[in-house]
Amino acid sequence: MSFTPSIRREGPALGLSSLDLPAGANPQPVLSEAEKVKARLKRLRARRGASHSKNWNRENPEKRRAQKRVEYALKVGKLVRQACERCGATQRVQAHHDDYTRPLEVMWLCPIHHGERHRELRCIAA
Ligand SMILES: [Zn+2]
Ligand SMILES: [Zn+2]
């Protein structure tokens, strides 16, 4: 027979390895301790995020005012929406203010990096 023995070597490079494992080679379904901790942190963080957004408008009138100023500036062409300055994403980019008293000094960030920036600011303030 003349089939090439090297044919199985394409597997890992294509990222299929976990999908076409033979039935005998079960990956361990048990979560490690580290993964459990990570999952719990994620839940905690999600809950805190929810309460944050619920009271956002009421607790942050100056933030809302700054966002309104940005909306207006975009409309009249005083500001131009840009790509996320951390990853270059162009979808759902948001205007972020480090300083709400300067409503036209914005950072353009995707939702992920916008959240990241706020975590940084919270750390600095704490
Ligand atoms: Zn980003
Ligand atoms: Zn922001």
Taking the C-alpha atoms of residue 67 and residue 61, their distance in angstroms, rounded to an integer, is: 10
Give residue-wise pLDDT tens across range 8-38. Answer: 555 455 544 455 655 665 666 677 888 888 8
Pick 95 or 41 by higher pLDDT.
95
Ligand number, closest to the Cα atom of 87: 1
pLDDT of 118 above 90: yes
- For ligand 2, the distance from its centroid to the CA atom of residue 98, given in whole angstroms, is 7
Q: What's the pTM value of the predicted model, to 2 decimals?
A: 0.54
**Domain spans in the chain, listed from the N-terminal domain onward:** 34-125
Phi, psi (degrees; rounded to nearest 5) at 31: -75, 135
- For ligand 1, the distance from its centroid to the CA atom of residue 76, given in whole angstroms, is 25
